[in-house]
Amino acid sequence: MKKGQTKANAKPASVQKRAYNAKPKSKADRAARNKVRRAAVKDGTVKKGDKTKEIDHKKPLRNGGSTAKSNTRVRSAKANRADNGSYKGMKRAGKRK
């Protein structure tokens, strides 16, 4: 077993995240996001390992957006996460599924 996976010592949030991230839809969504990031690195719009820049989907994937180049843009991590409700007090534009 991996660290944090045993029932005796794993925190409930950790168990929940592992279960969610192991679902086929989560894996497919993550693969799609990674593919777009790799394409941006190849184009030279972002650098590999640069944590300050993120690929933003103009129309979010959760709202039916695509991973096409025309639907993506490079934004600062802070601006992207603020728009998507990742910071306290921020609101996301779309609905969570």
Q: Is the pLDDT at 21 greater than 90, yes or no?
A: no
Express each pLDDT in 37-61 by its tens digit: 999 999 999 999 888 999 998 988 8
User: pLDDT confidence of 88, banded at 50, 70, 90?
Assistant: low
Question: Would you list the DSSP string of the chain?
Answer: --TT-STTT--HHHHHHHHHHTSHHHHHHHHHHHHHHHHHHHHTSS-TT-SSEEEEESS-GGGT---SGGGEEEEEHHHHHHHTT-STT---SS---
Average pLDDT over residues 28-42: 91
Average pLDDT over residues 56-71: 88
Q: What is the mean pLDDT of the chain?
A: 82
Q: Is the pLDDT at 22 greater than 70, yes or no?
A: yes
